[in-house]
Structure 1
Amino acid sequence: MRALLPAILVLGVTQIIGYGTCYYAYAILAPAVGLEFAVPAELLFGIFSGALLAGGLASPYLGKLMDRIGAARLMAIGSLAAAALLFGLAASPNIYVFGTLIVLLEIVGVMILYNAAFATLAQLGGSKTRRAITYLTLIAGFASTLFWPLTGWLLEEIGWRMSYLVFALLHLGIALPLHLWLAHHASGRHATATPSSAGVPVPETAALSGKAGRIAFIAVALSFALSNLVAASFAVHLVSTLQMVGLGATAYLLAMVMGPAQVLVRLTDAVFWKALHPLTVAIIGATSLPLSALCLLLGQPSIGAAIAFAALFGFGQGLESIVAGTVPLVLFERSRYGELLGKLSAARLVLGASAPFAFAAMIALAGLNAALIALIVIGAVAILPLVVLRARLRTSGRLHALPMA
């Protein structure tokens, strides 16, 4: 694990930059963009939903590319492309150019965010990959905590255009050099190893295959997709949701609870849940998401309920990030890890792409409480496939026969 520490730290920094600039900043900057271009907020969130959909559709192809040329190399290319697109956003003359660049940015995001980082660790980490993924998500959990207030401050001080310019410089000046170093560090291993040995040297026969593998993949994909629909709704609208329940200016501070909650639950996973199967961790994470919405629904406008909402959402979001990498790592073929991550991401993002727009539209049509109830129901349904899959594997004696790397 010590040999992996530099790679984990490098990826932690670049994931904070990547998620902060390509994901969390959008909701803060969107109102100012809409004001300048004279377009409603619903259109801007519709553009973002379409961009997430495009990223999801591109994920399987880019996942194969990670397996073929090395994920770290693809991350370096993605950093350069992200910088160019962010420079373009800063200079957008109209909503059409702005929207097109946002779509391209979310496609490029697949090359620089968790999927690529997890694949990089798998190609470097051997049997330590699962722990390395957990440690990486511990660091990256600070992305929202840092970038929500940072983006708000930049918006007030220099405006949305200069904010995107600053983000471009972060990719060009920090993320790109770090990814180039990582690509150089990883190139020798990727070039001299087969795909299976580059990932984790556990025999492929340990993985689920045939009909059992297909059923398991469908169950995992369905659960991840439904949970992501809930998570994506709150991730984009967390601050505005807290403002809508009457918490005003304190919404920013309360929303920041999510980041430490993510870190806390990931630390718990790293220290206390080492022996838990990733499917069990996935069930805990999936349960936290509807519980967070239930707390806000029943307790608003209480500050305590808002803190519970943000914390539970942070727990769910934090574990979701881990299990997105560890569940396919222990269930399916290691030689196709990047490709399988891409397919699961496609399932999550294709369904979740509509979440920011649908959540905003439902609030406008039926009110916040109705929107929260809908997310509670969806989140509860998302738990069921994982529970059934775990029960089937336990009954067949395969649950703990599967690798736990």
Structure 2
Amino acid sequence: MLFNHSSLIFDDDPTERDEQIMLLKSRFYRRIYYGWIMLVAVSITEVIAWGILYYAYSVFILPMALDFGVESLTIATGFTVALLANGIAAPIVGWWLDRYGARSLMTMGSLGGCGLLLLWSRVTNPLQLYLVMAGIGVVSATVLYEPAFAIVATWFRRKRGKALQVLTFFGAWASVLFIPLTGRLVEQMGWRSALWVLAAILALTILPHALLVRRSPADLGLAPDGDQSAHGQVTVIEPSFRPRDALQERRFWLLSIAFAISSFATVAMTVHLIPLLLVRGMSLDVASTIAGLHGLMSLAGRLLIAPIGERRSRRLVTLGLFLMQIGGLIILLISHWPGAAFLYIALFSAGAGTQTIMRAALLAEQYGATNYGVISGWQNAFMTVARTVAPVGAGVLIGSVGYEGMLWCLVGLLGVGSVALAVAEGGG
């Protein structure tokens, strides 16, 4: 039996029929590159996953502390447990991504996250909370940025920067949407019932992960960016490093040190900025307004600065982002005027937020997409350690040398990170 369609003839030869079907699919998906369809779907799930599994926790601290009759610090420690679990799981998640792709991993992560939220609603003491948060930390590693970055690294080459902009543009709205939503749910329903609603919202990510995520463009007869068939010549040739070789490179560790330092400084300032401004005599309303601009300034940086990385050296652009963070801290140090705090948040947050894009793009650019998951996972584990110790470490510095001394220490650390980034060229 013959079936004619667009010059294709399907006959009884299974091999020829499969090849022709693949060719037909590739023609269809080149009209609207499937990578963009999948990216938009995953970006929307990132908003939900980040909002529920990461940002919403801060809303539950006080209600849970009052319910359990413990200090807020005891409940806040649960978030630290989740961060540590996330960092431990990151290399294993990366290994899975490189070998099996993101589809099953993200689907299982969404299912597991829903179940853990329901378990969370049943906890009655801090130990149970810590166990649940350890699970949520592992689940977060399977559905937050790392698998999404791996998808971008695999599906895009020339347009990778634009793809990362789209992804992180969506992600920036997670805190804006879900912190107020969670607060309203807790106020109206109590924290236990609020978790049931959040679990139902997180369940909306299951089908997009299961039905839309694909491992590679070759599965659809395409090449990265959708410009040519998978059998054609790829326009951008990238290196392909084995994880062991990358981990033995000086360049990898210099980049990891730089980004870990920036992560430490960013988390430290996120936690301690409002207390610092209150000590300086600002009202809580003004201090909260300034701190709340972090997400907006991060988004502005990603939209305005990240495109420069498409035309200039990403490493040099990232170095400029570090200098923006340093400049913001110095402004905060030399002036107690409220306007200086606004300048600080604009520079520091734009620099920190845009680094999310630059780190993912730099890593793929330097080491390729083949083993991106494992290599990124190891780097993320290193950064997670820095993020985890930042609140306590900065608190120790404040207790020893005061807020001004802590700011100078962060300036010094970011200076070290800038040097590490500056000499990271070449590898070896």
Q: Classify the TM-score, shorter chain.
A: 0.7 to 0.9
Q: Which amino acid aligns with 1:143?
A: A
**CA gap 1:117/1:286 in 2 versus in 1, 3 angstroms:** same
CA contact (8 A) 2:308 2:317 kept: no
What are the residue-to-residue correspondences of 1:364-375 with 2, within 5 Å? 367-375=402-410
The residue that corresponds to 1:169 in the other structure is 200
**CA gap 1:234/1:39 in 2 versus in 1, 3 angstroms:** farther
Greater shift, 203-212 or 98-107, is seen at 203-212
**CA gap 1:287/1:86 in 2 versus in 1, 3 angstroms:** farther
Structure 1 residues 165-208: Cα deviation after superposition (integer angstroms, max 9, x where no partner): 33222211x2222222322x44784598999x89x874455879
3-state DSSP of counterpart to 2:124: coil
The residue that corresponds to 2:180 in the other structure is 149
Q: Give the alignment's TM-score, normalised by structure 1.
A: 0.84
Cα deviation, residue 290, structure 1: 3.5
Q: Which amino acid aligns with 2:356?
A: S
3-state DSSP of counterpart to 2:84: helix
How big is the alpha-carbon RMSD for the aligned residues of Structure 1 and Structure 2? 3.3
**CA gap 1:213/1:134 in 2 versus in 1, 3 angstroms:** farther
1:129 and 2:160 matched: yes
Gaps of 5+ in 2: 1-29, 225-229
What are the residue-to-residue correspondences of 1:264-275 with 2, within 5 Å? 264-275=300-311
CA contact (8 A) 1:24 1:148 kept: yes
The residue that corresponds to 1:279 in the other structure is 315
1:75 and 2:106 matched: yes
Cα deviation, residue 348, structure 1: 0.7
Greater shift, 142-151 or 208-217, is seen at 208-217
CA contact (8 A) 1:135 1:270 kept: no
The residue that corresponds to 1:44 in the other structure is 75
The residue that corresponds to 2:54 in the other structure is 23
3-state DSSP of counterpart to 1:249: helix
What are the residue-to-residue correspondences of 1:74-223 with 2, within 5 Å? 74-172=105-203, 174-183=204-213, 185-186=214-215, 189=218, 202-205=236-239, 214-223=249-258
Greater shift, 23-32 or 63-72, is seen at 23-32
The residue that corresponds to 1:247 in the other structure is 283
3-state DSSP of counterpart to 1:334: coil
Measure, in 2, the Cα distance between the counterparts of 1:112 and 1:167: 16
Q: Which amino acid aligns with 2:111?
A: L
3-state DSSP of counterpart to 2:123: coil
The residue that corresponds to 2:84 in the other structure is 53
What are the residue-to-residue correspondences of 1:307-326 with 2, within 5 Å? 307-326=342-361
Cα deviation, residue 242, structure 1: 5.0
1:256 and 2:287 matched: no
Match of 1:303 among 302, 317, 338: 338
Measure, in 2, the Cα distance between the counterparts of 1:131 and 1:378: 30
Q: Which amino acid aligns with 1:289?
A: Q
The residue that corresponds to 1:291 in the other structure is 327
Measure, in 2, the Cα distance between the counterparts of 1:242 and 1:145: 22
Cα deviation, residue 222, structure 1: 0.9
Cα deviation, residue 369, structure 1: 3.4
The residue that corresponds to 2:16 in the other structure is none
Q: Which amino acid aligns with 1:102?
A: M
Q: Which amino acid aligns with 2:357?
A: I
Cα deviation, residue 243, structure 1: 5.1
CA contact (8 A) 1:51 1:353 kept: no
Cα deviation, residue 225, structure 1: 1.2
Cα deviation, residue 79, structure 1: 1.1
Greater shift, 72-81 or 336-345, is seen at 72-81
The count of corresponding residues between Structure 1 and Structure 2 is 388
Higher helix share: 1
Cα deviation, residue 382, structure 1: 1.4
Measure, in 2, the Cα distance between the counterparts of 1:181 and 1:240: 46
Q: Which amino acid aligns with 1:263?
A: L
Measure, in 1, the Cα distance between the counterparts of 2:376 and 2:80: 20
CA contact (8 A) 2:241 2:371 kept: no
The residue that corresponds to 1:403 in the other structure is none
Measure, in 2, the Cα distance between the counterparts of 1:282 and 1:270: 9
CA contact (8 A) 1:243 1:249 kept: no
Measure, in 1, the Cα distance between the counterparts of 2:297 and 2:273: 14
The residue that corresponds to 1:400 in the other structure is none
**CA gap 1:27/1:368 in 2 versus in 1, 3 angstroms:** farther
Cα deviation, residue 44, structure 1: 3.5
**CA gap 1:162/1:297 in 2 versus in 1, 3 angstroms:** farther
3-state DSSP of counterpart to 1:93: coil
Measure, in 2, the Cα distance between the counterparts of 1:94 and 1:244: 34
Measure, in 1, the Cα distance between the counterparts of 2:300 and 2:42: 19
